[in-house]
Amino acid sequence: MVKEFQSGTLTLGVADIGVDAAEVLTGATLDDNKVLISTSEDGGAPVAIGFRAKKANGKYRYFWLYRVKFGITATNLQTKGDSITFSTPTIEGTVMRRNKPDGQGKHPWKAEVSEDDPGVSPETITGWYTEVYEPVFAVGGGSE
């Protein structure tokens, strides 16, 4: 049996991340008249995405998705009678494994930690967004 991560998806609301960030992530461009142009060739470079999610106990779980490539912005329009309803535009990214191997020669796709996990250094949490988290393994160590 092969157990290897291939890919997943991540959907972000454009209102949550801002139009400027969405443009960078999707490769869309503003023309000289400040009109946002999305083309079939669009697609930004892969990026790492760091975020946190609140757990039921009020503490946070922190994540890095190492390699996410976003596509074009999706805008959904619904018509009903004489009106059009615009839903919040979203962008969808494909989550992939990292090309760079870690200290064990493997290719991670995600890092995650809870602030209340036993033995987690406070510096790991306070520095989470300083830079993309790099796995740390003692030489010859690590778990199988």
Provide the residue range defining the domain that includes 87: 7-125
* pLDDT one-digit tens code per residue, 67-126: 998 876 666 556 666 666 656 677 788 899 988 889 899 999 999 999 999 999 999 999
CA gap 74, 13 in Å, rounded: 10
Q: Which two tokens stand for residue 140?
A: 């010859």
pTM of the prediction? 0.72
The total number of structural domains in the chain stands at 1
Q: How far is CA 14 from CA 23, 88, 90, 95, in A?
A: 9, 7, 5, 18
Task: Please indicate, yes or no, if residue 1 is contained in any of the structural domains.
Answer: no
**E strands within the chain?**
7-13, 29-30, 36-37, 47-54, 60-70, 77-80, 83-86, 90-96, 110-114
Query: Does residue 69 lie in a domain region?
Result: yes
Q: Is residue 134 part of a domain?
A: no
Token pair of 23, please? Answer: 């443009």
Q: Tell me: the pLDDT tens digits for 27-50?
A: 877 788 877 777 767 667 888 999
In a domain, 144, yes or no: no
